[in-house]
Amino acid sequence: MYIMRRAAVGWGRLSVVISARDLRANDGGGGGELSFSRTRTRTRTITAPLHTSSAKMTEPFLPEHVVFNKPKVELHVHLDGAIRVQTILDVAKRRGISLPADTVEGLTQIIILQQPVTLTKFLCKFGEYMHVIAGDREAIKRIAYEFMEDKAREGVVYVEVRYSPHLLANTKVEPIPWDQKEGDLSPDEVVRLVNEGLNDGQRDFPIKARSILCCLRHMPSWSMEVVKLCKKYRDKGVVAIDLAGDESLNCEAFPEHRMAYEKAVRSGIHRTVHAGEVGPPSVVKEAVEVLKAERVGHGYRTLEDQDLYKKLLAQNMHFEICPISSRLTGACDSDFTKHPVIRFREDGANYSLNTDDPLIFNSSLHLDYYTAQKYMGFTEEEFQRLNISSAQSCFLPEEEKKALLNQLHEAYGMVQSTAF
Ligand SMILES: O=c1[nH]cnc2c1ncn2[C@H]1C[C@H](O)[C@@H](CO)O1
């Protein structure tokens, strides 16, 4: 009941459907057991199902399964979906917050999705741990810093990381999320803390990061402040606005999202929108035509409207694809060999490969690439092409984008033609 109430505040009407505790009871376990060495010194056993059908399969994830060990660009990953389990445990201990498990293995089993569910049930998973991190300055800075270390280890040289400042705050946010007591950490200060953590990470690891601030479909009243924060912190690492959450809530019903995006256009703030993940192609159309999205988060269901798909292909629209996520959120067929990204690849579309929420999917970018190679026939050449498309579609200013492209071309051994 306690967890249910927290989820209720964090995800509005979504939690009415199911509580995090119910989810645990219903999950039924399963999924493959993957041993994945994240560092030279630390081997962590993670579970992440890699099967192509609904049947269980056990498959160890070994270092040799790193199929593209070259510099990568990641454009779609949620900071609050990429936290270390150990950090949640440490912060909970320091703050005297009790959790349903006190070991990494135990808490991991509670947080992760082992079988495909629905987007709605997936979103309830944030209710398992967000109350530990939200409202705590040290924790917020720490998760941003550790995120940089983790991504650098995966070979990511440029990342755009997104989050909702409101979901990490405990004052000047209405309602206060995760059943927290009112404190003194505002959404504005959350952005400052994340920027600090990311900057410290840039100093210490070979990776560059920019951030994207999320509006949430079920919280239209926060959207105007999100775009204001994007403007305020544009010179301090914030590059874009996003709209995340449950797509079945059509934003036409919420003019606040539209108004926030109109302000973003007027202010020169870049725009991406979660659309066509589980929602119909009309949500993608609205994202592009009404909200003026420059990139589409997921966008799988665009393929159901061939006219729209052809139009977006012609526009070179960028799709932020998240293979493992798309299976576990129930957005796509469990059979990876039928994944929409195969069609995108065949059509030479502009897309990136991303983790989305590696904590909840118990995954890593290596696992997404491995999945693409093993079940979807991706080649080294395609990995290089899609990373170059990703760099071209990132939200850095032109000069910095050029430098990133040069870095990739050099790492991939590609000779760049000089324009005379
Ligand atoms: O895959 C997703 N689809 C829609 N919303 C999502 C997804 N992953 C995370 N979110 C939500 C939950 C987070 O709390 C929020 C901001 O990062 O964005």
**ipTM, interface predicted TM-score of the complex:** 0.99
Indicate the domain borders of the chain.
Answer: 3-411
CB 292 within 8 A of CB 263: no
Q: What is the pLDDT of residue 417?
A: 59
Give the pLDDT score at 419: 56
Residues 167 and 83: their CA atoms lie apart, in Å, by 14
What confidence tens digit (pLDDT) does each residue in 158-209 have? 999 999 999 999 999 999 999 999 999 999 999 999 999 999 999 999 999 9
pTM of the model: 0.89
- 3-state SS assignment for residue 256: helix
Nearest residue CA, atom 18 of ligand 1? Answer: 244
166 lines ligand 1 (CB under 6 A): no
Active site residue 399: no
Q: What is the pLDDT of residues 203-228, one digit of tens each?
A: 999 999 999 999 999 999 999 999 99
Q: CATH class for domain 3-411?
A: alpha beta
Collapse the DSSP code of 42 into the 3-class scheme (helix H, G, I; strand E, B; otherwise coil) and give the result: coil
Using pLDDT thresholds of 50, 70 and 90, give the confidence band for residue 65.
confident
Task: Assess whether the C-beta atom of 359 lies below 6 angstroms from ligand 1.
Answer: no
**Token pair 């059943």: residue:** 179
Give the tens place of pLDDT for each residue, 364-382: 999 999 999 999 999 999 9
CA 227 to chain centre: 19
Radius of gyration of the chain (CA): 20
Q: Give pLDDT tens digits for 260-277.
A: 999 999 999 999 999 999
pLDDT band for position 58 (cuts 50, 70, 90): very low
Which of the two residues, 2 and 187, has the higher pLDDT score? 187
Ligand 1 centroid vs 248 CA: distance in angstroms? 14
Three-class SS of residue 36? strand
63 — pLDDT class (breaks 50, 70, 90): confident
How far apart CA 193 and CA 137 sit, in angstroms, is: 7
380-393: pLDDT as tens digits = 999 999 999 999 99
Measured from the CB, is residue 326 less than 6 Å from ligand 1? no
Q: Mean pLDDT in the chain?
A: 88
